[in-house]
């Protein structure tokens, strides 16, 4: 089960919309088991059907998340032209079975945000529970550069 604030859900959807027609990507950070923040990263591929995160941004982002006393709890990305389900590439590149893989679709009339656990090629959807936002001190998102 992924517990995430409504504010974070809206932010990752907005990030996906801003990056159209390309996929948006980033990290999700949790405190006390609740995802309270997103960290937009650059899709260096600038592609509509896949993403690659900038390694320098990733390193700086993880450092910032830890510095805020949070933990990396997930990776999110958008699917501008397909439903919110893992592609074969998403499954192949899911290396960390301890985190959530959140996919946002930008298609109309679809479930916008879905979350998955992926381990050794096996995909399990996890329930997304929207929770009230806790204190905003730790959770303010910003682009890492």
Helix residue ranges per DSSP H, 1-145? 6-19, 55-67, 88-92
Q: How many domains does the chain have?
A: 1
Q: Is residue 74 part of a domain?
A: yes
pLDDT tens figures, 97-119: 999 999 999 999 999 999 999 99
Q: Is residue 138 part of a domain?
A: no
Q: Is residue 145 part of a domain?
A: no
pLDDT tens figures, 6-23: 999 999 999 999 999 999
Q: Distance (Å, rounded) from C-alpha 104 to C-alpha 8?
A: 12
Q: Is residue 60 part of a domain?
A: yes
Structure confidence at residue 134 (pLDDT): 72
Structure confidence at residue 31 (pLDDT): 94
Give the domain extent around 65.
2-131
Q: What percent of the chain has pLDDT over 70?
A: 92
Q: Is the pLDDT of residue 33 over 90?
A: yes
Q: Distance (Å, rounded) from C-alpha 75 to C-alpha 29?
A: 9
Structure confidence at residue 136 (pLDDT): 53
Is residue 138 within 8 Å of residue 69, measured between CB atoms? yes
Q: Is residue 142 part of a domain?
A: no
Q: Is residue 144 part of a domain?
A: no
H or E stretch covering 101: strand 100-105
Q: Distance (Å, rounded) from C-alpha 131 to C-alpha 38?
A: 15
CATH of the domain at 42: 3.40.140.10
Q: For the full predicted model, state whether its pTM sits above 0.85.
A: yes
Q: Is residue 56 part of a domain?
A: yes
Determine the distance from the C-alpha atom of residue 135 to the mean position of all C-alpha atoms in its chain, rounded to a whole number. Answer: 20
Joined together, the tokens standing for residue 70 give: 């949070």
Q: Is residue 9 part of a domain?
A: yes
Average pLDDT over residues 52-74: 96
Q: What percent of the chain has pLDDT over 90?
A: 90
């Amino acid at each position: 089960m992924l517990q995430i604030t409504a504010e974070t859900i809206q932010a990752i959807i907005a990030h996906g919309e801003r990056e159209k027609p390309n996929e948006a990507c980033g990290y999700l950070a949790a405190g006390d088991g609740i995802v309270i923040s997103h960290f937009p990263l650059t899709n260096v591929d600038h592609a509509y059907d896949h993403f690659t995160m900038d390694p320098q941004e990733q390193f700086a982002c993880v450092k910032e998340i830890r510095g805020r006393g949070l933990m990396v709890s997930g990776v999110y990305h958008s699917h501008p032209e397909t439903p919110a389900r893992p592609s074969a590439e998403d499954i192949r590149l899911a290396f960390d079975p301890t985190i959530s893989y959140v996919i946002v679709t930008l298609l109309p009339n679809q479930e916008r945000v879905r979350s998955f656990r992926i381990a050794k090629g096996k995909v399990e959807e996890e329930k997304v529970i929207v929770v009230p936002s806790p204190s905003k001190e730790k959770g303010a998102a910003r682009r890492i550069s």
